[in-house]
């Protein structure tokens, strides 16, 4: 049987966490996923991760968590990142001395899934190592593992960068999915050599917002160029963006990929 995977985009603050908790029982019944993944770098009021917010999403049913450039914003999460048994990883192409792990192997029954987190360099502020070469390095380090899937969260600003990477990884990754922009794209497809792809999954967060942030302060910022605090709406209509895919565990290739976009009231 194929491996069935449900992937949520960036979960934005409390409203995003509540939206996941509200919609997930229905999606689990409908899609019957073997593995549920979410990008967690914005779960603690839109910036960073805490142990409490991570546990909340684990309790809601999320199995594994990727992250991005905000992963270290809350220092209390560092011990979790350094725990080899934790279901949370940070981008693998951070400098070598950064806390945490950039990839882990997840076991679902007898199946082994290599989970990789990478971060882009185009338009990003950090001084990251090359994600392309880091991907090669990880595959080399895990070449003796009998893997059934290779899943890559590429946290990127530029669609050109993730698009190029997807072709670079085609046939070697089961899925390359984008996070970071919070804007869902409709370019989900299976590439020529069997790698599933989408430029950005999107987010789980407030619908009437700017990327999950209260729109009024963002508008003021654009009008005045003065700094206004980012406020995350806690109630109202929430959107949940995800992708669902099926992976053939014998050859690690994607056989089906589709968008899953929902709305709930919080």
**Above pLDDT 70, what percent of the chain?**
100
pLDDT tens readout for residues 52-76: 999 999 999 999 999 999 999 999 9
Say which of 70, 155, 180, 182 is annotated catalytic. 70
Q: What confidence score (pLDDT) does residue 71 get?
A: 98
Task: Kindly state the tokens that stand for 80.
Answer: 């979790």
Q: Could you give the CA distance from residue 181 to residue 197 in angstroms, rounded to a whole number?
A: 16
Provide the CATH number for the domain around residue 124: 3.60.21.10
Q: How many domains does the chain have?
A: 1
Q: What is the mean pLDDT of residues 218-245?
A: 95
Task: Kindly state the tokens that stand for 50.
Answer: 């805490």
> Do 166 and 131 form a contact (C-beta atoms < 8 A)?
no
pLDDT tens readout for residues 88-142: 999 999 999 999 999 999 999 999 999 999 999 999 999 999 999 999 999 999 9
Burial 4-32 (b: 16+ CB within 10 A, else e): bbbbbbbbbbbbbbbbbbbbbeebeeebe
Q: Is 180 a catalytic residue?
A: no
Q: Which structural domain range is residue 168 located in?
A: 3-265
Mean pLDDT score of the chain: 97
Burial 45-79 (b: 16+ CB within 10 A, else e): bbebbbeebbebbbebbbbbbbbbbbbbebeebee
Residues in the chain, overall count: 266
């Amino acid at each position: 049987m194929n491996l069935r995977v449900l992937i949520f985009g960036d979960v934005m603050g409390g409203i995003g966490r509540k939206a996941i908790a509200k919609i997930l029982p229905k999606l689990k019944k409908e899609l019957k996923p073997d593995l549920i993944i979410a990008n967690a770098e914005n779960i603690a009021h839109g910036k960073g991760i805490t142990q409490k917010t991570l546990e909340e999403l684990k309790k809601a049913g999320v199995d594994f968590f990727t992250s991005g450039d905000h992963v270290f914003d809350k220092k209390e999460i560092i011990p979790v990142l350094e725990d080899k048994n934790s279901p949370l990883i940070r981008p693998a192409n951070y400098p070598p001395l950064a806390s945490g792990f950039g990839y882990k192997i997840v076991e679902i029954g007898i199946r082994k899934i290599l989970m990789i987190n990478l971060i882009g360099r185009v338009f990003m502020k950090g001084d990251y190592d090359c994600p392309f070469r880091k991907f090669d390095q990880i595959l080399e380090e895990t070449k003796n593992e009998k893997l059934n899937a290779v899943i890559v969260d590429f946290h990127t600003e530029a669609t050109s960068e993730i698009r190029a990477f997807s072709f670079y990884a085609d046939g070697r990754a089961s899925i390359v999915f984008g996070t970071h922009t919070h804007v869902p794209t409709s370019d989900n497809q299976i590439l020529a050599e069997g790698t599933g792809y989408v430029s950005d999954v999107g987010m789980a967060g407030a619908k009437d917002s700017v990327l999950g942030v209260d729109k009024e302060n963002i508008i003021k910022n654009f009008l005045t160029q003065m700094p206004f605090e980012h406020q995350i709406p806690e109630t109202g209509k929430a959107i949940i963006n995800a992708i669902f895919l099926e992976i053939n565990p014998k050859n690690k290739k994607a056989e089906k990929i589709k968008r899953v976009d929902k709305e709930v009231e919080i």
